[in-house]
């Protein structure tokens, strides 16, 4: 329930603090200004964009704060927990501040948060019904929502929604697989050709480097053998063996160990050099013996390198490893095209099972909606007839559809306003005033189902007057037994039914216009309603009429 609304430096309000009561509150006077105060301020608190033209005094901060009593609304707690906000079981305070520079901040119970979070919470606190909202009655999705609320379908709709998401994901997965298979099948012969070329090559990682090294040797056999032979001649000839000479030197310097402290170190190092040099000579001799002029092998290596180069150029890659990756990818595409039926059958089986479960739940939802529609049709006619719609009849036309996020139904609310009139869509049959009265009946029915603290009606009585307006007011008053109802009205019949009466008053100064809201006492209320009944000069007749509307004894 909205308990308090504080506004400063917004629209034509300098500073205002309004305390709202339980029950049925009416707002009269300068109702246009009243809209800017109530609807504009609450709109900002529920996520609307801020227009700096709405600032009354430039260079001054704009602050809007609403305090709600949330006792008895435990469902709000889950939203607070999900968004890491402290939950107070008694009250919720939403505050929005717009700085002089136009920067906006919003708080819930003094904790900074985002507009999206505030909007999700505000939807559970207040329902603002403006005149354009009457057009919702023509919207098929709203009609389904209405039936689901009346049928208490929240839990089963959640179950359906979860299963529907899985169904959509699995269906998309199947479509993607089909597309891949279709593409693979179109290219199957060509992919096989490419794969077979690579497969026949039997490529190995690192093969190209090995082949290039072999090619280098085979292409330069004569030069390599001549050079190696020259090196061997230099290192070890018949007349002089370098390793033997080094070994002799090591032996001789070792003999100086008794007179030269480093002699043993030098000897050891020379022996090591001699051993290494002998090993080098043996390795070169072996290399020299193994290197043979082999034109056939050279031809084989060159042919192999040429085949690899051709494939690299064809696939526009730079290494054998990349060719191997391409070969694996081609193999996967071929397998997908050749062995995909099992995977498709598996997905189709899952989809069939999901569809069976979805259909089962959707049928239950449809049955509950049909039952709710029958109840709604009777209730709406019963509520609307006292509002001047004496001959109204309504019905929901159901049509089956494929699975949608809302089930397998489309509905159309049809009405017949007059006797012997055919049913027609409500959008093409009802006038603006008739829509207002029908929408009030709808809100009345919803009020008994929704656990909503506050509803605000913005001149829902537009287009009606007299006894009909009084009966609309009576209906709103009955709604206030379930929730707090606030209505902005210009009709005395509606204003007189309120349990609390507020007046919007605008005043002009030399430099500006400001607006304020005050709660009227009994005498002030009589005069306000008398003014709404008569002209600018309030006479005794208007006063007595006002008292009569208020249930007071005329003088």
The DSSP line for 496-514 is: TT-SEEEEEEEEE-SS-EE
pLDDT confidence band for 351 (50 / 70 / 90): very high
Query: Is residue 160 pLDDT above 90, yes or no?
Result: yes
The string of DSSP letters for 379-427 reads HHHHHHGGGT-TT-EEEEEEEEEEEETTEEEEEEEEEE-STTPPPEEHH
Query: Is residue 459 pLDDT above 90, yes or no?
Result: no
Residues 6+ apart with CB under 8 A from 516: 13, 16, 504, 505, 507
Query: Is residue 365 pLDDT above 90, yes or no?
Result: yes
pLDDT confidence band for 539 (50 / 70 / 90): confident
CA atoms within 13 Å, Cβ hemisphere of 413: 30
Check residue 133 and give its pLDDT: 65
Look at 206-210, 267-271, 297-301, 339-343 and tell me which has the smallest mean pLDDT: 339-343
The better pLDDT of the pair 226, 157 is held by: 157
Both structure tokens of 283: 């390795």
Taking the C-alpha atoms of residue 332 and residue 512, their distance in angstroms, rounded to an integer, is: 77
pLDDT confidence band for 262 (50 / 70 / 90): confident
| Long-range pairs for 332-337: beta carbons < 8 A, 24 or more residues apart | 333/184, 333/187, 333/188, 333/191, 334/184, 334/188, 334/191, 334/192, 334/195, 336/180, 336/181, 336/184, 337/181, 337/184, 337/185, 337/188, 337/191
The better pLDDT of the pair 435, 448 is held by: 435
Instruction: Note the helical H segments in 88-187.
Output: 115-122, 140-150, 154-186
pLDDT confidence band for 51 (50 / 70 / 90): low
Residues 6+ apart with CB under 8 A from 324: 198, 203, 205
Mean pLDDT score of the chain? 84
Look at 214-223, 268-277, 408-417, 424-433 and tell me which has the smallest mean pLDDT: 424-433
Query: Is residue 21 pLDDT above 80, yes or no?
Result: yes
pLDDT, tens digit (0-9, with 9 covering 90-100), for 90-127: 888 999 888 777 788 889 988 888 888 888 888 788 88
Query: Is residue 33 pLDDT above 60, yes or no?
Result: no
Contact 353, 171 (CB under 8 A): no
> Whats the size of the chain, residue-wise?
555
Check residue 535 and give its pLDDT: 63
pLDDT, tens digit (0-9, with 9 covering 90-100), for 371-395: 999 999 999 888 888 888 888 899 9
pLDDT confidence band for 422 (50 / 70 / 90): confident
pLDDT over 70 percentage in the chain: 92
Check residue 552 and give its pLDDT: 82
Angle in degrees, 0-180, between the axes of helices 221-235 and 207-219, rounded to the nearest 10:
70
pLDDT confidence band for 370 (50 / 70 / 90): very high
Contact 121, 343 (CB under 8 A): no
Check residue 353 and give its pLDDT: 93
Check residue 373 and give its pLDDT: 94
pLDDT confidence band for 547 (50 / 70 / 90): confident
* Separation in Å, CA 290 to CA 218, 281, 544: 11, 14, 130
pLDDT confidence band for 57 (50 / 70 / 90): low
Contact 509, 486 (CB under 8 A): no
Query: Is residue 302 pLDDT above 80, yes or no?
Result: yes
Chain center to CA of 229: 79
Taking the C-alpha atoms of residue 340 and residue 333, their distance in angstroms, rounded to an integer, is: 10
Contact 118, 106 (CB under 8 A): yes
Query: Is residue 362 pLDDT above 90, yes or no?
Result: yes
């Amino acid at each position: 329930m909205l308990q308090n609304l504080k506004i400063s430096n917004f629209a034509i309000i300098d500073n205002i603090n309004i305390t709202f009561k339980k029950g049925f509150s009416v707002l009269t006077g300068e109702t246009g200004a009243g809209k800017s105060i109530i609807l504009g301020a609450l709109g900002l608190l529920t996520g609307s964009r801020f227009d700096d033209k709405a600032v009354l005094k430039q260079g001054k901060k704009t602050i809007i704060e609403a305090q709600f009593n949330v006792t008895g609304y435990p469902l709000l707690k889950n939203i607070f927990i999900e968004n890491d906000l402290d939950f107070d079981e008694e009250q919720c305070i939403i505050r929005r501040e717009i700085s002089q520079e136009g920067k906006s901040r919003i708080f819930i119970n003094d904790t900074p948060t985002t507009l999206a979070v505030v909007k999700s919470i505000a939807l559970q606190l207040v329902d603002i019904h403006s005149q354009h909202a009457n057009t919702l009655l023509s919207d098929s999705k709203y009609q389904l929502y209405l039936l689901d609320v009346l049928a208490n379908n929240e839990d089963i709709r959640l179950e359906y929604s979860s299963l529907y998401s899985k169904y959509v994901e699995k269906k998309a997965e199947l479509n993607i697989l089909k597309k891949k298979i279709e593409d693979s099948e179109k290219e199957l012969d060509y992919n096989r050709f490419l794969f077979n070329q690579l497969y026949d090559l039997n490529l190995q990682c690192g093969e190209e480097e090995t082949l290039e090294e072999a090619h280098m040797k085979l292409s330069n056999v004569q030069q390599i053998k001549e050079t190696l032979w020259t090196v061997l001649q230099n290192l070890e000839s018949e007349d002089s063996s370098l390793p033997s000479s080094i070994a002799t030197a090591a032996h001789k310097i070792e003999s100086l160990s008794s007179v030269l402290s480093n002699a043993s170190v030098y000897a050891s190092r020379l022996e090591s050099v001699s051993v290494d040099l002998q090993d080098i000579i043996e390795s070169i001799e072996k290399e020299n013996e193994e290197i043979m002029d082999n034109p056939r092998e050279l031809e084989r290596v060159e042919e192999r390198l040429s085949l690899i180069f051709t494939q690299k150029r064809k696939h526009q890659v730079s290494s054998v490893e990349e060719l191997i990756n391409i070969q694996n990818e081609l193999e996967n595409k071929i397998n997908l095209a050749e062995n995909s039926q099992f995977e498709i059958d598996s997905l189709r089986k899952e989809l069939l099972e999901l569809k069976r479960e979805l259909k089962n739940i959707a049928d239950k939802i449809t049955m509950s909606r049909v039952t709710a529609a029958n109840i709604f049709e009777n209730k709406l006619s019963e509520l609307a007839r006292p509002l001047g719609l004496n001959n109204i009849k309504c019905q929901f036309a159901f049509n089956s559809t494929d699975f949608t996020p809302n089930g397998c139904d489309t509905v159309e609310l049809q009405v017949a306003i007059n006797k012997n009139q055919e049913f027609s869509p409500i959008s093409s049959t009802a006038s603006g005033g008739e829509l207002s009265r029908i929408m009030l009946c709808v809100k009345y029915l919803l009020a008994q189902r929704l656990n909503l603290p506050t509803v605000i009606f913005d001149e829902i009585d537009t287009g009606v007057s007299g006894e009909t307006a009084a009966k609309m007011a009576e209906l709103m008053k009955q709604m206030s037994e379930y929730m707090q109802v606030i209505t902005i009205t210009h009709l005395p019949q509606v204003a007189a039914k309120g349990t609390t009466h507020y007046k919007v008053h605008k005043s002009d100064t030399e430099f500006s216009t400001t607006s304020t809201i005050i709660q009227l006492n009994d005498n002030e209320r009589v005069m306000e309603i008398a003014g709404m009944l008569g002209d600018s000069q309030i006479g005794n007749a208007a006063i007595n009429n006002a008292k009569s509307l208020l249930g007071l004894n005329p003088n």
